[in-house]
Amino acid sequence: MNLYIKTYRHLINPSPMIDGKEYLTSVYRSLGIDYPKFFKMDNLSKLGFLASELIFKDDPSRFVPREDLAVIGFNRSASLEADTAYQATIQDNKNYFPSPAAFVYTLPNIVTGEIAIRNKFYGETSFYISEQFDAEQIFRTVNHAFQDKKTRSVLAAWIESFDGTQEVFMMLVETETSEIPFSIKQINKIMNN
Amino acid sequence: MDELILKLKGEIIEVLNLEDLQPEDIADDAPLFGEGLGLDSIDALELIVLLEKNYGIKLTDPAQGREIFQSIRVLADYIQANRKK
């Protein structure tokens, strides 16, 4: 099956000196969005959310429910950043107050759910962990998603937020012909640009 | 009581990450859930943690939470009457 990258976005926090939360909030503000739930999300979900906003903000048919669109995420550090934040709330026996709001983000696939909820995507959602960015794995996994009879679009993203790194590379892959073919070479090219 | 209400609004904004709100945006009698602040079930759990952490109040009956979290004023009244911290 021939697949194409309809559009993509690549966001990177430009400096480890910039506080991750501040960086993400500044991108959110620049988009002029009104979605208070954003502030409750962990950084991983915020990254994925912002990239998806950039991809879909000008789509005239946005928010029309779609069952043919899958959301697939990939990264290296899973939800370790959120795990650490939650751990901090249960570390001290004398100050033991587990935070429910922190706990709900202690799974990396929550970001795919946040994007699906926001955009009314009712297709498959999944999340994969690998040692490093792996274009071949992304290519293979996205191709597999198209093997059912339902999926016509896949929103695929490498989303990493841990230890000073904040990066999201998100692409909308479709069966409909467009300028950029979906290939391992193209995925690497865009990622390394 | 007014002082407690103001403090409570600040705590709620902080703990629930209501980033775009200021204490003065929250009416004392507005519902916290549903049409008011639009809080959800995870927020309710966070409020229960806040009560225990900041005021030493431990809620064990979920139905009790429904009563207490009606509005900031109702919550402040409950804290005033039951606080251990």
User: Do B16 and A40 lie within an 8 Å CB cutoff?
Assistant: yes
Q: What is the pLDDT of residues A108-158, one digit of tens each?
A: 999 999 999 999 999 999 999 999 999 999 999 999 999 999 999 999 999
Chain B contacts of A40, Cβ < 8 Å? 16-17, 42
The proportion of chain B whose per-residue pLDDT surpasses 90, expressed as a percent, equals: 74
| B47: Cβ contacts below 8 Å, ≥ 6 apart | B12, B15, B16, B32, B39, B65, B69, B75
The answer, for A190 touching chain B at a CB cutoff of 8 Å, is: no
User: Do A36 and B42 lie within an 8 Å CB cutoff?
Assistant: no
With CA atoms as reference, the chain B residue closest to A25 would be B19
pLDDT at A3: 98
Q: Give helix B2-15 / helix B41-55 axis angle, nearest 10°.
A: 130
Give the C-alpha separation, B61 to A91, whole Å: 26
User: Do A39 and B17 lie within an 8 Å CB cutoff?
Assistant: yes
Amino acid in position A84: T
Give the C-alpha separation, A72 to A171, whole Å: 10
Q: Average pLDDT in the B5-13 region?
A: 97
User: Do A101 and B16 lie within an 8 Å CB cutoff?
Assistant: yes
What secondary structure does DSSP assign to B38-79, as a single string? -B-HHHHHHHHHHHHHHH------HHHHHHHTTBHHHHHHHH
- Residue A177 burial (CB < 10 Å; 0-12/13-18/19+)? exposed
Query: In angstroms, how far apart are the furthest CA atoms of chain A?
Result: 60
pTM for the predicted model, two decimal places: 0.94
> Distance, in angstroms, between A101 CA and closest chain B CA?
6
Residue B62 has pLDDT above 80, yes or no: no
User: Do B46 and A100 lie within an 8 Å CB cutoff?
Assistant: yes
Chain A contacts of B45, Cβ < 8 Å? 100-101
User: Do B42 and A25 lie within an 8 Å CB cutoff?
Assistant: no
pLDDT at B64: 85
Q: Average pLDDT in the B60-83 region?
A: 91
> Distance, in angstroms, between B3 CA and closest chain A CA?
25
In contact, A46 and A101? CB cutoff 8 Å: no
Residue B66 has pLDDT above 90, yes or no: no
Helix (H) or strand (E) holding A21: helix A20-31
The CA dihedral of A40, A164, A85, B75, to the nearest 10 degrees, is -30
Over its C-alpha atoms, chain A yields an Rg (Å, rounded) of: 17
Structure tokens given for B69: 């979290």
Amino acid in position B79: I
Chain A contacts of B58, Cβ < 8 Å? none
Q: Alpha carbon A82 to chain centroid distance?
A: 15
User: Do A99 and B46 lie within an 8 Å CB cutoff?
Assistant: yes
Beta strands in A13-150, from DSSP E residues, in sequence order: 69-75, 125-129
Angstrom CA distances, B18 to A54, A72, A175, B2, B38, stand at 23, 29, 40, 21, 11
The answer, for A63 touching chain B at a CB cutoff of 8 Å, is: no
Q: Tell which of B46, B55, B57 to mutate to test the A interface (max A CBs under 10 Å).
A: B46
Helix, strand, coil fractions of chain A, as percent rounded to 5: 40, 25, 35
Q: What is the pLDDT of residues A49-91, one digit of tens each?
A: 999 999 999 999 999 999 999 999 999 999 999 999 999 999 9
* Strand-strand pairing, A69-75 and A125-129: parallel
Chain A contacts of B52, Cβ < 8 Å? 97
User: Do A39 and B49 lie within an 8 Å CB cutoff?
Assistant: no
User: Do B49 and A97 lie within an 8 Å CB cutoff?
Assistant: yes
Query: In angstroms, how far apart are the furthest CA atoms of chain B?
Result: 31
Residue linked to tokens 């570390």? A91
pLDDT at A7: 97
pLDDT at B17: 94
